[in-house]
Amino acid sequence: MSEVRQVPLILPDLGLDDSTLRASMWLVPKGKPVYRGDRLLEVFAGEVTFDVVAPESGVLSMKMVDEDDRIEVGQLLGAIVASEELN
């Protein structure tokens, strides 16, 4: 049996003014499988939208921010339970 491993989703430094960063829209519901590189969350930064992508394959197990929440670089956005079966 494989070990359960939580992989945090952290907002990376986008090189933008933190005061304008907002969680725009979750693209995957909690509890759904995701694959490395899948788009998970749109982040609105002024007039630009960026995607937070899955760092590993697994199941989106936790969402720590809601749509339209103000967010900051380094903030925990959610987590994925990693799954070797989805690689």
pLDDT in tens, 21-65: 999 999 999 999 999 999 999 999 888 899 999 999 999 999 999
Residues whose CB is less than 8 angstroms from the CB of residue 15 and which lie 6 or more positions away in sequence, other chains included = none
Distance (Å, rounded) from C-alpha 11 to C-alpha 71?
8
Tell me how far apart the alpha carbons of residues 24 and 57 are, in angstroms, rounded to a whole number: 22
pLDDT recorded at residue 46:
83
Answer for the pair 41, 55: CB distance below 8 angstroms, yes or no. no
Question: For the whole model, what pTM was predicted?
Answer: 0.87
**For residues 55 and 48, what is the distance between their CA atoms, to the nearest angstrom?**
22
The strand pairing partners of 48, in sequence order, are 45
Is the pLDDT confidence value at 11 over 60? Answer: yes
Residue 1 pLDDT exceeds 70: no
- pLDDT reported for residue 18: 67
